[in-house]
Amino acid sequence: MSIWSVFLTLCFFLVPTQSFAEQMHLKVVQYPPLAYEEAGNLKGVAPEIVAKIQAMVQDTNTQELTPWLRAFKDTQSQPMHALFAIVRIPERENLFKWVGPIFGEDDYFFKRKGNPLVVKTLDDAKKVKRIAVRKDGYTHQALAAAGFTNLDVGPTYSTSFKKLAEGRVDLVLMGKKTHYYMVKRAGIDSDSFERTTCKFAGSTAWIAFSLDVPDSTIQKWQTALEQLKINGVYDEIMERNFKH
């Protein structure tokens, strides 16, 4: 065992323990392969990692698949809530307390396959007619903050992909690693799309907690996550969920 591993283990047991009888509302947002429901069961990177953390910190609360907007709003306005997975960006920094990252990737603009549209720079992307985004999602908030005014706002990522496949929008911003799974989950052939050479940014997905959650709980969860990364469990979960 490395010195760093020993240090984290000591920190883990020294952090004050939360009251495990305390109710925590764990909201899971569908974002394949990070989180999705299959045959009534929650699957994916985020639920697996959170379940491992829960076992380590003795948290017995139930994970609940929740629509994005409701989970996003409830975690800001209701006590003792956690939302995962959510991209951490400056516009959200002070809305939550954070544990992570549990995932990271680069995000590119995708176009419909065969579309002669050339998008090499962000200025090119700002000049297209419509870019589909999910309301108050990472792509919506990040692109708006970057000065994009050509956003076509919809309720889900699936609607964004369908609009792109049907030629109703010009671009969708998607993750280099996750786009295949998200598009497939929406019932669309991933070969319908083509990744442009325009990278918007790198993004990381986190567990977001409501601001009333004790700092001791945040520290306990963060330390548990770091242990999962050191002992190889995190890598096993990633490899199992990213087979494409």
The answer to whether 71 and 135 are in contact (CB under 8 A) is: no
| pLDDT of 22 higher than 90 | no
**How confident is the model over 51-82, as pLDDT tens digits?**
999 999 999 999 999 999 999 999 999 999 99
For β-strands 151-154 and 131-134, DSSP reports them as parallel
Where are the domains positioned within the chain?
Answer: 3-12+22-104+204-241, 111-203
**How confident is the model over 24-58, as pLDDT tens digits?**
999 999 989 999 999 999 999 999 999 999 999 99
For domain 111-203, which architecture applies? 3-Layer(aba) Sandwich (3.40)
| pLDDT of 20 higher than 50 | no
* pLDDT score of 186: 87
CA count, 13 A, side-chain hemisphere, 121: 3
Three-class DSSP labels, the chain: CCHHHHHHHHHHHHCCCCCCCCCCEEEECCECCCEEEECCEEECHHHHHHHHHHHHHCCCCCEEECCHHHHHHHHHHCCCEEEEEEECCHHHHHHCEEEEEEEEEEEEEEEECCCCCCCCCHHHHHHCCCEEEECCCHHHHHHHHCCCCCEEEECCHHHHHHHHHCCCCCEEEEECCCHHHHHHHCCCCHHHEEEEEEEEEEEEEEEEECCCCCHHHHHHHHHHHHHHHHCCHHHHHHHHHCCC
Q: Do 3-12+22-104+204-241 and 111-203 show the same overall fold?
A: yes
**Cα–Cα distance, 235 to 238 (Å, whole number):** 5
Cα torsion 13, 16, 17, 18: sign: negative
**How confident is the model over 184-222, as pLDDT tens digits?**
988 999 899 999 999 999 999 999 999 999 999 999 999
Find the mean pLDDT for residues 104-115: 97
Using CB atoms within 10 A of its CB, is residue 19 exposed (0-12), middle (13-18) or buried (19+)? exposed
More confident residue, 242 or 124: 124
| pLDDT of 17 higher than 50 | no
Which of 209, 229, 203, 193 is CA-nearest to residue 31? 203
The answer to whether 195 and 176 are in contact (CB under 8 A) is: yes
What percent of the chain is modeled with pLDDT above 70? 91
Top-level class of domain 3-12+22-104+204-241: alpha beta
**How confident is the model over 133-192, as pLDDT tens digits?**
999 999 999 999 999 999 999 999 999 999 999 999 999 999 999 999 989 988 999 899
More confident residue, 97 or 17: 97
* pLDDT score of 185: 86
| pLDDT of 16 higher than 80 | no
* pLDDT score of 3: 53
